[in-house]
Amino acid sequence: MPPEEPDAAPHVIVCGLHDEGVRVVQQLHAAGVEVVVVDAEPDLRLVPLLTEIGVRHLVADSRMPETLRAAGIDTAAALVCVESDDLQTLATALLGRQLRPDLRVVAQMRNEAVGRALEGTGVAVLDVARLSAPAVVRACLRTDRWSLRVADRDVVMVEASCRRDGTLRDLFGDLSPIAVAHADGPVEVTPGRDLAVARGDRVHLLGTPAEVDAAGLAPRRRPAVAEFVGARAGRPDRPHRDPWLRVLLRDLDRRVKHAILALMCLAAVSVTVLMLGYEEADGRRMSFLDALYFTVETIGTVGYGDFYFRDQHGWLRVWAILLMVVGATLATVFFALLTNALIARRIEESLGRRRITGLTDHVIVVGLGSIGVESVRMLRAEGVEVVVVERDQTNRFLGELNALRVPVVAADATLPDTWRQLRLEHARAVAVLISDDLVSIETALAVRELLGERWAEVPVVVRVFGRRLAATVEQSFGFRHVRSPAVLAAPWFVGATLGVEVVDTFYVGDLPLLLAKLTVRAQGGLDGVTLADLPAQVRIVVLQRADGVIEQPPRRDTRLRADDNAYLVGPYDELIALVRADAAVV
């Protein structure tokens, strides 16, 4: 059945019905934008969602000109390419630019080199892994303070705990409150400074570094992660390692340990026997050092001829024979086992699978997909030790991890035996970034059980696609850090589609929030509007006037004017709806 002819009204074409694609479609639809979806092989579990919200879907190849024309590219306002395959994304984006050189094209591209080249053609290129990994890393390291670049100045987003009852104004002065996560559960977005809070409530605030320092909001623990969207923060201290001798003894192969123990026992018996039985012609006996020297040279088959047994008792000569035979045998076995262990270790290192030896205060990353490897890069850039668990021994990212000297354990993360190799008892955080939701939840439950009493203090970040499922998992299993890469990244795609610059996405409790830059459009819906008239859950935290003057924070009676740059914070659906009302491109 041929597809219906598109309406004449401007709309957005979204190519790719997968995790990111469906979130982009849902957010565009919630903002009142008409959407047409194109995908030849859609994720069947997501197709009913399109029917539910009334979005038209073309089952066709987006790389064909006739497909994009059937989707209405001639009248479309934007083309969003979020296919699961980079090659198909590249072909679709280039075709869109060829058919409509003036069309706004936004593409998801995992390959950095191809992405840079595609940007040169005028395409806005985004990477879900780079957009969502910072939130994962912040949760792992419990970062409560990070920097952002807003209106050509550095500002700080900080999460603080209320130490006593009072109002936000009393506790934090003029810092802009972004959200309050009450200890009893609910989250209030963009509250007023006169909101009463209780001890133990968590508050997200924004201000300049000087204002934050003046409020006494020092980092909760040593700086652990830089802001990956704005300015970099300080580099943390190197993680603690166990003493090398303890590590060596603990991680040696058991057979090598047995060989060492046997040699030591033999040497101890030999030294004792020689000190008691060996006697020179003048009556002198062997000293401890002489006995140890003779024992070592005999076991080592060196034999310098320093001591002679021709005139010794027969039983002592028999002992010397036994020492030569047994000692040489044990030494040979020891060196063979040691050589085997060293070669096996070298092979593991060459394959990027080094053993986990002596690490403490490290982060365990489960799943080596694009988000997993990006999280590893960010953690290593900050000097944090990382251990990776990946079942697929042919994973294409193993070579990169080998270059970063990140050990990889090729095993099933749902099995308790795997975690015994990872030194979970010494880890500072666990990030379960498996793309399969069921396996991800199963792995996280296994980690919770193994952590025992440490469950409350060790962050366990769990990747789950569905926002509804994520909320259910948090409530049912007590997970505190459930993250959806699609939810985090989708606002960036929607913002690029609508001509809005997204600055940051972050979580407050289980609620994702968005910080974005909006340029007020002349004669638009916000031109002449006061801040007090904005939706309750949207706040302008920084206002840069057209003449360059910066107001931070602006007053509630401030009136917006054309060409002002407003930096807004709020839930992405309300914020994007506000942007749509003022400067919609569709």
Asked whether residue 96 carries a pLDDT value surpassing 90, the answer given is: yes
pLDDT at position 580 = 66
CA distance 462 to 448: 11
pLDDT at position 71 = 94
pLDDT band at 286 (very low <50, low <70, confident <90, very high): confident
pLDDT at position 473 = 82
pLDDT band at 72 (very low <50, low <70, confident <90, very high): very high
pLDDT at position 402 = 82
Q: 266: left (phi > 0), else alpha (psi -120 to 50), else beta?
A: alpha
Name the β-bridge partners of 515: 504, 569
pLDDT at position 5 = 42
What is the per-residue pLDDT across 159-176, written as a single tens digit (0 to 9) for each?
A: 888 989 999 989 998 888
Query: What letter would DSSP give residue 403?
Result: H
CB 415 within 8 A of CB 409: no
Asked whether residue 237 carries a pLDDT value surpassing 70, the answer given is: no
Q: What is the pTM of this model?
A: 0.71
Phi then psi dihedrals of residue 539, to 5 deg:
-130, 140
Q: Residue 181, SS3?
A: strand
546/465: higher pLDDT? 546
Cis check for the bond before 571: say yes or no (omega within 30 of 0): no
Asked whether residue 66 carries a pLDDT value surpassing 90, the answer given is: yes
Mean pLDDT for the stretch of residues 515-529? 85
The mean-pLDDT minimum among 74-78, 121-125, 306-310, 460-464 falls in 306-310
CA distance 570 to 539: 7
Mean pLDDT for the stretch of residues 272-276? 88
Asked whether residue 461 carries a pLDDT value surpassing 90, the answer given is: yes
Mean pLDDT for the stretch of residues 90-99? 94
Average pLDDT along the chain: 83
pLDDT band at 579 (very low <50, low <70, confident <90, very high): confident
